[in-house]
Structure 1
Amino acid sequence: MTETPTQRLDRVLHAAAAPLTGGLSPVSLALAMADWGWHLGVSPGRQLELAALAAQLGADTLRQHDGAAEGGAGARDDDPRFRHEAWAAWPYSQLRAGFRNAEAFWREAARVPGMSAHHAEMTQFFAKQWLAMLAPANWLLSNPVVLNDAVESQGAHLAQGLRHWLADASGTAAPPPSVRVGQDVAVTPGKVVHRNRLIELIRYEAQSDKVHAAPLFILPSWIMKYYILDLSPHNSLVRYLVEQGHTVYMVSWRNPDASDHELGMDDYLSLGVLDALRAIGTLSPKGVGVQAMGYCLGGTLLAIAAAALARAGSAPLLGYQDLPPLKTLSLLAAQTDFSEPGELGLFIDESQIGLLDNLTRGKGYLSGKQMAGSFQFLHSRDLVWTRRMREYLMGEREQQSDLMAWNADATRMPARMHHEYLTSLYLHNALAASSYRVNSHAVSLSELRMPVFMVGTERDHVSPWRSVYKLHHLCEAEITFALASGGHNAGIVSPPGPHDQHPHRGYRIASRPAHGAWLDADDWLAQAHPHEGSWWPAWAQWLGRHGGRKQAATPIPARAVLADAPGSYVMQRYSD
């Protein structure tokens, strides 16, 4: 649709103002604030309740003299910023108690009867953001750990931190040591065997004499470079899988530019999933099928594809013939029901989507920098304040790792696809409601029949594990669910290793048979058996049970080879 001059005026104004609010819609923020303020203003009873709560918490703060009081600092504190024993001594124990009581007050004060649930959650979230900025752990004079370090280093660490701050503020900071794609990460041997305008398909070389008959197809999210699953060799899920006797295919998404602005969700499904499956079918024995795994939004897209293919005679409707059947479906940190998407859902409403549409319409894409801003809000304590405290107050520069380098390797999203997935999935929850349309045909997850393996992670702010778990309510397939320690990325990149190297790593796992009774997520948590270590071996064994008998490994056909892995699409980098 052609943009009118008045529409262009609005778009340019909104895009210019977006950096002032961190890319958040000022209208959404104002509406949440007004909803809270008006309802509180006409609720004198609620005002009295909050005043009484404030008085009670204030008195509790004044009673704190040392860490011996209930809820004192140290290992008992659920906030890692206050676990050092120095926080148990007065006056720091009192500062800490006052901060924790302020958090408790706003958890209650952000909710006023009559407010919409969305506005109440926004109010609570942004109150938490302001408090995180004001935390005593962030400041020199109120952080005993920093003060002790300054004394012990005779001010050297503070001086080093000042140099770090000046370098960052002036833009002269030296870049971290480079992690090279294809040399340090993404080094598992393989070949690009298929390419279209959106993906390269990599097949990895066998690392064992025999392999399972059914290959494994991996679909990462399009908002990330695929090598999150092929980091350094000791952290590579791909390397682990090929060593276990699996033939692995991996999608590497092209990093889109302005010319791709009209690519939509149907294009991502067709070119990213169905065309890749067709290519795998031409390189695999007939009738063995494919085991498929999707990570994050890649898992959501894979679930959509599986539901579409489950419709009787649907392949011709999708424009593809002779696709290999999906034997199993594995979904890692992937939501299919977006009714409770966690904190990320706070940034998605009609006003926010309107602002994002204005941002993407001019460029034709959403930049990686804009996406990173939203994720920093979700992890502000760890990604902003704790990091700045260590760099500027203790002089410790964060050491680059393969996972950090991957996180900084920005990707983009085409404008149309970005709008469609936010509107269809987050705003209308169409997939869970069986109203999501593929080429104008509604698909339903209730059609899924193949065995499913799902992984959620305990501290996932992007795909909360209880939200991931909801697939149990949407289909009657056999589902094995694993809940891993860690967050959205670190919980998935969880290689096996000695317990002393990963002392806090573990997972819970339990299976529901096909057509079995479903459990509430918290009931599942109470019944699932805990295990130490990585969940990777449990999944590899599950894949092995469904992958068919092992047979002699064969080399990648020379006729199919287009380039060496990692290919060219993963190398695309743009400055936004």
Structure 2
Amino acid sequence: MASGKQQSPNPAPPAPDLERLASNTAKLVEEMGKATAAALKPVEEGRPPASSEELSDLVKTLGQVVERWAMDPHRVVLAQASLTKGFMELWTNSMKRMQGEEAQAVAEPDAGDRRFRDPEWSENPIFDFIKQAYLITSRWAEDVVKSADGVDAHTKHKAEFYVRQILSALAPTNFVATNPELLRETVSQNGENLVRGMKMLAEDIEAGKGKLKLRQTTSGNFAVGVNMATTPGKVVFRNDLIELIQYAPTTDTVFKRPLLIVPPWINKFYILDLNPEKSFIRWAVAQGLTVFTISWVNPDERQAKKSFEDYMREGIFAALDAVEKATGEKHVTAIGYCVGGTLLSVALAYMAATGDDRIDSATLFTTQVDFTHAGDLAVFVDEGQIKSLEDRMYAQGYLEGSSMASAFNMLRPNDLIWPYMINVYLKGQEPFPFDLLYWNSDSTRMPAANHSFYLRNCYLENNLAKGKIDIGGVRLDLGKVTIPIYNLAAREDHIAPARSVFKGSKEFGGDVTFVVAGSGHIAGVVNPADKPKYQYWTNGKVEGTLEHWLAHATENPGTWWPHWLSWIEAQAPERVKARKPGGRRLKPLCDAPGEYVKVRA
């Protein structure tokens, strides 16, 4: 939107109470000292902060871009001239606005950019100047990195990612002095907002053991097994890696073929059972499916040497044995979510190679098996970074769950980081209780051996797609997996990009039903049948590019859940009498959701 004549300014905020402001300033300094002490504690204890390694990689990466630009002085001059031209236009137009003349904006936020929604960013010439100056500089910096010649693709990808992080952090919306809304808030509250925010900052750095544990939600009254993960069932099997939950039937008859869910081990399974209204698990039970789900242990140093193969054998294969004992059925259909889907795909390739036919069909939720187009998470994966991560993991036996949470947040910093920094630490507002963000903060650790194998063989070397992974002496080939597969991608997924999931669909040797859900990695999957928020797209075979597939796809209203159920029913429609958890051969160990899921990292 163009900047027009200067509009009537907002009413001036009341003058601050100088005595209260002085008192709050003293309190702010005190809380700032506590935050600083919490941040320095790891150094005092001889534990170097992990961020130092990340900063080193950032400097090294951007240094390579600067070095390439320095080799061509003529292009440097042109780039500087381009930036100068933008600022000259901005200065000229700002002067016109100051004099009450019409002036077209030089730069405006993108349509989806919510940072500059406050009216003063457009109505006040000073803040409008600050906003446009930031946008001009940001777009110039991004163009400089994109147009750097002679930089390898991975380094350029990292540089673009790091520049986005820096630009997001330096936005004028993140500072009291340059954010009109924060200025009004601070003056009207005499700085009490900053005192509250600094107090919460100190608490969150302390909770993160020297590293900020970003406060995105409050726990509210959330409790796993009380008002989250409440679908009735029993834990019918347990070993060092998993608890297997079988859910109680709610129909008189059920499909003969059971369903086994393999969730990711980097998050807890109850994303599929947040509450009765959003629960995929509860809905699946209500459709007449005998549902089992794996609940992974939250590992510590005792599981340090648990490998990817162990997760397959003690996870999926142990669960299959237990399902057969509980139901008498040898053959199942399985679901794998995210990295759980990658593990399931590895298991399917292994089973195909060894003649194990216990899984009749498989569903993959936002799963990558070909990591060619892995998206921004690939920024964190190269030999140097993996080696550094391995050193940290093997020192304690596992990777802290906060590391993965931080990486996921960095994929969308303007949605998942800076709004909370502003609202919590500058406005001093406690965030609202939100079940999805509570689940997101309930992180899990990752065993060193397993996570190292996953990063190297999937993200770094893409060995699963290349047919180069060896498990237990068996070379894996996804082309030998000929069972029917329902492969769900999410159109706005930043973790398992739809383009990546689409390419991976071509690796399997059988019939693949590829479906694209609206929204992202979580909301695209958790889209309840009773209150769907997003649509989904269907088409024929997985051929050509994703863009071509989408261009000729059918857009369907509502959730994909019933479409998936029809796919399940078409393969195995036979029904039997409903089964009690455990059946006759397995004695239930405890009520769902079990004990492993309650262990906090």
Structure 1 length as normaliser, TM-score? 0.86
8 A Cα contact 2:487 2:505, kept in partner: no
- Mean Cα deviation higher: 267-276 or 463-472: 463-472
Q: Deviations over 1:37-68 (max 9, x none)?
A: 22111122432342243234334544476897
Match of residue 9 from structure 1: none
CA deviation map 1:271-326 (0-9, x unaligned): 11112112212333446x31111111000000111122122x444xxxxxxx62x2
Contact 2:230 2:276 in 1 (8 A): yes
* 8 A Cα contact 2:106 2:132, kept in partner: no
Q: Which residue of 1 aligns with 2:113?
A: 79
2:68 corresponds to: 39
Matches within 5 A, 1:485-564: 485-498=518-531, 505-513=533-541, 518-556=543-581, 557-560=583-586, 561-564=588-591
Structure 2 CA distance for partners of 1:363 and 1:486, relative to 1, 3 Å: same
C-alpha contact (below 8 Å) 2:260/2:293 kept by paired residues: yes
Tell me, yes or no, if structure 1 residue 377 matches structure 2 residue 410: yes
Deviations 1:362-383 (A, max 9, x none): 1111111233232332232223
Q: Give 1:572's aligned residue.
A: 599
Choose from 517, 520, 529 the match for 1:484.
Answer: 517
- The 5-angstrom pairing of residues 101-250 of structure 1 reads 101-111=136-146, 112-147=148-183, 154-155=188-189, 159-169=192-202, 176-250=219-293
Change (3 A) 1:232 1:349: same
1:193-214: CA deviation from partner (whole Å, max 9, x where unpaired): 2222111111111111222221
The structural deviation recorded for 1:549 is: 2.5
Q: CA deviation at 1:507?
A: 2.8
How far did residue 450 of structure 1 move? 2.0
Q: Normalization by structure 2: what TM-score?
A: 0.83
Q: For 1:228-268, what per-residue CA distance to the aligned partner results, in whole angstroms no more than 9, with x for missing partners?
A: 11111112111111111111110000111112211111101
What's the offset of the Cα at 1:425?
0.8
Q: CA deviation at 1:18?
A: 4.3
CA distance, structure 1, for counterparts of residue 406 and residue 537 of structure 2: 34
Q: Which residue of 2 is the match for residue 464 of structure 1? A: 497
- Residue 19 of structure 1, aligned match among 3, 28, 50: 50
The superposition leaves residues 167-213 of structure 1 with CA deviations (integer Å, 9 ceiling, x where unpaired) of: 33256999743421111111101111222211111111111122222
CA contact (8 A) 1:510 1:529 kept: yes
Q: Sort the Cα spacing of 1:393 and 1:533 in 2 relative to 1 into closer, same or farther, 3 A.
A: farther
Distance apart, 1:85 and its partner CA: 4.5
Deviation at 1:69, TM superposition (A): 4.7
Amino acid at match of 2:116: F
SS at match of 2:465: coil
Matches within 5 A, 1:335-414: 335-414=368-447
**Which protein has the larger Cα radius of gyration, Structure 1 or Structure 2?**
2
Tell me the distance in 2 between the aligned counterparts of 1:368 and 1:390.
Answer: 24
Aligned length: 537
Change (3 A) 1:203 1:176: closer
- Post-superposition offset of 1:427: 0.8
The Cα shift of 1:71 comes to: 6.7
CA deviation profile, 1:136-168 (whole Å, cap 9, x unmatched): 2222343344456668xx437x62453132233
Question: CA, structure 1 residues 286+394, in 2 after alignment: closer, same or farther (shift >3 Å)?
Answer: closer
Q: How far, CA to CA, are the matches of 1:237 and 1:438 in structure 2?
A: 32
From 332, 336, 346, the counterpart of 2:365 = 332
Q: Is the 8 A contact 2:186 2:194 kept in 1?
A: no
Code of the residue aligned with 2:457 in structure 1: it is: S
Shift of 1:433: 0.5
Q: Secondary structure at the match of 1:512?
A: coil
Q: Quick check: 1:96 aligned with 2:126?
A: no
Gaps of 5+ in 1: 1-11, 316-322
RMSD: 2.8
CA distance in 1, matches of 2:194, 2:132: 28
| Alpha carbons 1:25, 1:352 under 8 Å: kept | no
Q: 1:303 to 1:136 in 2, by over 3 A?
A: same
User: Matches of 1:96 and 1:456 in 2, distance apart?
Assistant: 36
Q: Please report how far the alpha carbon of residue 405 of structure 1 lies from its aligned counterpart in structure 2 after TM superposition.
A: 1.9
- 1:367 and 1:245 map into 2 onto residues whose CA distance is 38
Unmatched segments (≥5 aa) in structure 2: 1-42, 208-214
Distance in 1 of aligned mates of 2:445 and 2:178:
41
Q: Which residue of 1 aligns with 2:456?
A: 423
Distance, in Å, in 1 between the alignment partners of 2:550 and 2:76 is 38
Which stretch shows the higher mean deviation, 466-475 or 85-94?
85-94
Question: Aligned AA for 2:201?
Answer: D
Please state how far the C-alpha of 1:412 moved relative to its aligned partner. 1.1
Tell me, what secondary structure is at the counterpart of 2:573?
coil
* Separation of aligned partners in 2, 1:436 and 1:144: 55
Q: Which amino acid aligns with 1:129?
A: Q
Question: How many Å separate the matches in 1 of 2:103 and 2:470?
Answer: 57
Matched residue type, 1:336: V
- With 172-181 and 247-256 compared, the bigger mean Cα shift is at 172-181
